[in-house]
Structure 1
Amino acid sequence: MPNTLNPLELIARRWQPSAAFVRRAALATVVMAVIIVVTGGAVRLTQSGLGCSTWPKCTPESLTPTAAMGINGLIEFGNRMLTYVLCAFIGLFIVAARARAPHRRSLTRLGWGQFWIVMGNAVWGGIVVLTGLNPYLVAAHFLLTTALLTVCVLTWQRAKEGDEEPRDLTARPVRQLAWLLVAATAALTVIGTAVTGAGPHAGDAHKVHRIPLDWQEITQLHVDFVYIVVGLSVATWFTLRAVKAPAAPRRRVLELLGCLALQGVFGYVQYFLGLPELVVGLHMFGSTLVWICVLRVLLALRDRGPVPQAADEAAEPEAAEPQQAAVASAPSR
């Protein structure tokens, strides 16, 4: 009985994407994950969280919103449809990573990891609707999307590097400082969901249960963690300079500091203006940029060699500088 090829193997026999294409496909999943966060925030800020009254249908009688539901139904349903667009981009990456020779199982596994997080979060979003926007479930819904963004960023990084054993570019205390920065930023994100859950933007025009916390106090705790993250970022940059680390990690920290400055502006503006919807949305967008930058700082502290090339393919220059080159070109001080 002849061996039966699965569809991905059949595609791999007929299509050989370039390493650059795989990188761009991975980056597209990062962009789509950010869009999902921002549009999810738009659903909440436009009071469209229950624009569709049930799940998986929009109403008990209709899969799509009706004219009587108005703009809120369209916004909520549109956000649901974006999940399919996200899955299409993830599928494109999985197919490209599988078709690329040599096959890198680590990339396809990360792609499938993205897919299953999306599927799980879609079901979780349905539970959020069926429970009338329970604030704890809404917070978990956002954190699951952040987990998706994390895997997407890791996938993007892995698409730009090889499969060698990770080689540390800095001493262990420096890496521990970077991990502390990641942990503090993660805590900042979790506290941010508590601020949102206790705040005035409940996600629907009707009375919705809120997290029973003093909004002013939890906001102050959020601000305190902002200062901790900023302090750790500055400390990381000076430490990298002191140990003469490669240029790439130092550049990643500067990018992070720039995002933190922008996010700080959004945060203070929304606080002093009474949480206008547009500025709150920009603040959510800024939170995704900060998380991406923090992850990139951590990932820049190790090297896994160049991207594997096909046997009949000339080595192509990578879009991101290989860490080995960064080590060689690091200025001495």
Structure 2
Amino acid sequence: MTSSKSRIDSKANRLFRRLALNTVITLYFLIIAGGVVRSTGAGMGCPDWPRCFGSWVPPTEASQLPSNYKELYGAKLKGEVEFNPVKTWIEYVNRLLGAFTGIMIFLTLLASTPFLKSRNKHIFFFSLAAFILVGVQGWLGAKVVSFELLPVVVTLHMLLAIVIVFMLLYLYTWAEYAESSLKLNSDSKKTISRIGLVVMTLSLLQILLGTQVREVMDEVIAKLGYGARSEWIDSLGIKFYIHRSFSIVVFALNIWWIAKIVKSEARESVTVKVAKACLWILIAEIATGIIMAYMGVPPFAQPLHLTFAILLIGLQFVVWLVVNGTKYLKYKESFQIG
């Protein structure tokens, strides 16, 4: 009887872990899609929400639209709406990915329900909170459209995405590494943990600075147009230079933190491996930043730069969690009642 129950419990844990991981991956694809939307200027490719040009499946050519579509949809866009099938479908795919992400998070929530009968009820409530926040994120997405890409709404949309990433990464990390942590003495753990908090804070600040640069870039694009990409960087002003200079501080602190982890006793631990992954992602992020700054902001570099930034802060969070494993990832025999 006990053996049968154990097999059921193990199966439920594996299902939850796989769903949590796949949901995180789906969420990152959604972030990439959002970056593509912004880099191509497709944010208003669908001028209404939740439909697109009044239809659940958007048109592929202007002839499929009413002859007065500019009058119908141009009012809130100051009469500048012009049907572009590429931009329309980029935005539409972004919305589809958003809906699919919501479904994945709902499945993760369902898979977490057995934890209500365990000492780890917080896993269910974290899953529930993530599901609710995805709904809020969808609502914010609608506001991004209705407020015509208002910078503050776009920034809030990004911040909430990071919060959801953190919540899902916590769920996956708990399920995968609850019994794993660096075999360090208490002082070493405290040092690495404290540095990690500073690293994540600076990474978040750098992302926020990046959103400020992107907001200025939107203004520049409105003036110069998409055909003048090579002139965008020179027109960004002081915010761009602050963002660029601050990257040196972020890079240096990350190197220091990663070096401390690698020099720890557990060289082959998951923490060391993820920390090394952080280093390569940091290098890739800086590389895409350099490409944008000196190669005329090519469209492919913008979504990659954003994705690397959020992937980096996500993996930093995983490292920090595992370092503090006994405190935040304590495994209490998931399905044990009492």
Query: How has the CA–CA distance of structure 1 residues 207 and 64 changed in structure 2, closer, same or farther, with 3 Å as cutoff?
Result: farther
Q: How does 1:203-218 map to 2 (within 5 A)?
A: 215-218=236-239
Q: Does the Cα contact within 8 Å between 2:115 and 2:121 map onto a contact in 1?
A: no
1:52 aligns to 2:46 (yes or no)? yes
Query: Which is further off, 257-266 or 99-108?
Result: 99-108
Aligned position for 2:134: 118
Aligned position for 2:256: 235
Aligned position for 2:108: 93
Question: 2:215 pairs with 177, 182, 197, which one?
Answer: 197
Mapped to 1, the partners of 2:322 and 2:45 lie a distance apart of 42
Instruction: Among all aligned residue pairs of Structure 1 and Structure 2, give the percentage whose two residues are the same amino acid.
Output: 20
Give the C-alpha shift of residue 101 in structure 1: 8.8
Mapped to 1, the partners of 2:126 and 2:249 lie a distance apart of 31
Question: 2:333 pairs with 300, 308, 311, which one?
Answer: 308
Give the C-alpha shift of residue 288 in structure 1: 2.3
1:143 aligns to 2:136 (yes or no)? no
Question: Whose helix fraction is larger, Structure 1's or Structure 2's?
Answer: 2
Mapped to 2, the partners of 1:182 and 1:87 lie a distance apart of 26
Aligned position for 2:125: 109
AA in 1 matched with 2:276: L
Aligned position for 1:84: 99
Question: 1:66 pairs with 59, 80, 98, which one?
Answer: 59
Mapped to 2, the partners of 1:160 and 1:174 lie a distance apart of 21
Mapped to 1, the partners of 2:18 and 2:320 lie a distance apart of 21
Question: 2:195 pairs with 177, 192, 206, which one?
Answer: 177
Deviations 1:258-309 (A, max 9, x none): 1111111111112111101012122122112211221122112122345736
Give the C-alpha shift of residue 257 in structure 1: 1.1
Question: 2:301 pairs with 254, 261, 279, which one?
Answer: 279
Give the C-alpha shift of residue 206 in structure 1: 11
Mapped to 2, the partners of 1:34 and 1:144 lie a distance apart of 13
Give the C-alpha shift of residue 236 in structure 1: 1.6
Deviations 1:293-332 (A, max 9, x none): 2112211212234573657xxxxxxxxxxxxxxxxxxxxx
Q: Does the Cα contact within 8 Å between 2:184 and 2:264 map onto a contact in 1?
A: no
Give the C-alpha shift of residue 58 in structure 1: 2.2
Mapped to 1, the partners of 2:88 and 2:143 lie a distance apart of 17
1:220 aligns to 2:213 (yes or no)? no
Q: Does the Cα contact within 8 Å between 2:35 and 2:306 map onto a contact in 1?
A: yes
Query: How has the CA–CA distance of structure 1 residues 58 and 251 changed in structure 2, closer, same or farther, with 3 Å as cutoff?
Result: same
Mapped to 2, the partners of 1:198 and 1:205 lie a distance apart of 11
1:255 aligns to 2:277 (yes or no)? yes
Deviations 1:19-68 (A, max 9, x none): 22211111111111111111011112222111111223323x43442342
AA in 2 matched with 1:62: S
Deviations 1:163-214 (A, max 9, x none): 9xxx986423332111111111110111111111111588989989xxxxx7
Query: Which is further off, 153-162 or 256-265?
Result: 153-162
Give the C-alpha shift of residue 156 in structure 1: 0.9
Q: Per the alignment, in what secondary structure is the counterpart of residue 277 of structure 1?
A: coil
Unaligned runs of 5+ in 2: 1-7, 63-82, 227-234
Q: Per the alignment, in what secondary structure is the counterpart of residue 112 of structure 2?
A: helix
Deviations 1:113-164 (A, max 9, x none): 111111111111111111111122112212211221111111111222449x
Mapped to 1, the partners of 2:324 and 2:101 lie a distance apart of 29
Aligned position for 1:188: 206
Q: Does the Cα contact within 8 Å between 1:168 and 1:303 map onto a contact in 2?
A: no
Aligned position for 1:153: 169
Deviations 1:84-133 (A, max 9, x none): 21111112211122246964322211111111111111111111111111
Q: Per the alignment, in what secondary structure is the counterpart of residue 258 of structure 1?
A: helix
Aligned position for 2:79: none
Q: Does the Cα contact within 8 Å between 1:169 and 1:302 map onto a contact in 2?
A: no
Query: How has the CA–CA distance of structure 1 residues 288 and 169 changed in structure 2, closer, same or farther, with 3 Å as cutoff?
Result: farther
Aligned position for 1:264: 286
Q: TM-score, normalised by structure 1?
A: 0.77
Report the number of matched residues.
Answer: 290
Aligned position for 1:128: 144
